[in-house]
A = this chain, B = another copy of it.
Amino acid sequence: MSERTPTIHDVAARCGVNASTVSRAFSRPERVSPATRDRIHAIAAEMGYRPNAIARALPSGRTRTLGLLVPDITNPFFLDLIRGAERAAAAAGYTLVLADTEETSQQETTVVERLTGAVDGFVLASSRASDQRLREVHAKTRVVVVNRRVRPLPGVLIDSALGTRQAAEHLASLGHRRIAYLAGPRASWSDARRWRTLQALARHRDLEVVRIGPLAPTVEAGKAAADSAVLDDVTAVVTFNDLLAIGVLRRLRDRGIDVPGQISVVGCDDIFGADFCHPSLTTLAAPIESAGRSAVDLLLGLLGYDGPDRPRPDDTEDVVLPTSLTIRESTGPAPGRARGRSPRQRAATDRGTAKAVGASR
């Protein structure tokens, strides 16, 4: 008894046609006469025939599979990204391979090497690799980067410039004059951009901004940085991401420092949890899921254009997605001081009063 799964040859035999006709009936139905096509499909279904994806990929070189590399699955930010990517891939009938690069460029390289050939292209999210390295990857395979601008690689960027500006103006209008920025990883494009925006605004709006970091984008790092912020005597903190902000919130709460009574906190991304932490987080909402979806769509586009003659576009427009400020409970008026007061004048008095004032909320 032949219990193996049927192949095109089995189907062909039963239909009295050549195997290549069966192949065509599935991959290029329009090149088979309607009559035989229908008969083949019917018999194939009856026999329980399933095209073998691997065998299909070998001669064609197309696997209908995409690789998604993230630096840290642990980070809920990437949960949203994965979700968007998975949906876009599934919608196009593509399979998604997920890999964690553990924040290292080395691991990223290893995975790309291993997967090259097994996937039609990559989405590299928040890549930790050098521009140089990314260009090498780009030379060998189809790739889209997220949260990086590396010419000429196509990319999806979440641009927080507008949001950052809104955040700063929000804080300024609440009377804050001295603000800390908790910076993200050194290589982050968005981090650099946000910091620049903040500095520009500081000049314009008579704000002082101090930079704390670079920091790992985690809750734990946020806790530690909260102490630095307190020491730096700011009335508001803007963070690279929500994880940091949540860490700040927790640390300040442990120290009995009231948010937003004494310190206001603005996060970034609006990840799962930003709306139910305490106090709920004012944050720069980022369209993370859209970013994931856009990245896959962009990649799919590249794959589609991938005719044998048509050359790959040498410089693609990046997709830029904006953030916008979502105001919740973690921001409020600067602690009872005259609005125009210079930050310098009060530095000394603030330290150590935290606990006492904390109770007054």
- Which residues does A use to contact B, with CB under 8 Å? 5, 50, 52-55, 57-58, 63, 65, 73-74, 76, 79, 82-83, 86-87, 90, 95-100, 113-118, 219, 246, 249-250, 272-273, 276-279
Contacts and interface: CB of A to CB of B under 8 A. Distances in A.
Question: Which of A73, A76, A219, A249 has the largest count of B CB atoms less than 10 A from its CB?
Answer: A73
A263 B90 CA distance: 43
Contacts of A79: 73, 76, 79
Nearest to A249: B276
Contacts of A52: 117
A235 to B, nearest CB: 23
A86 B58 contact: no
A114 B53 contact: yes
Contacts of A115: 53, 95
A277 B276 CA distance: 5
8 contacts: A50-B113, A65-B97, A73-B83, A90-B100, A95-B97, A95-B99, A249-B276, A276-B277
Nearest to A219: B276
Contact of A277 (B53, B114, B277): B277
Nearest to A140: B5
A57 B98 CA distance: 19
Given A74-B83, A86-B100, A96-B99, 4 more contacts: A65-B97, A82-B98, A272-B272, A273-B276
A122 to B, nearest CB: 13
Question: Which of A5, A58, A76, A118 has the largest count of B CB atoms less than 10 A from its CB?
Answer: A118
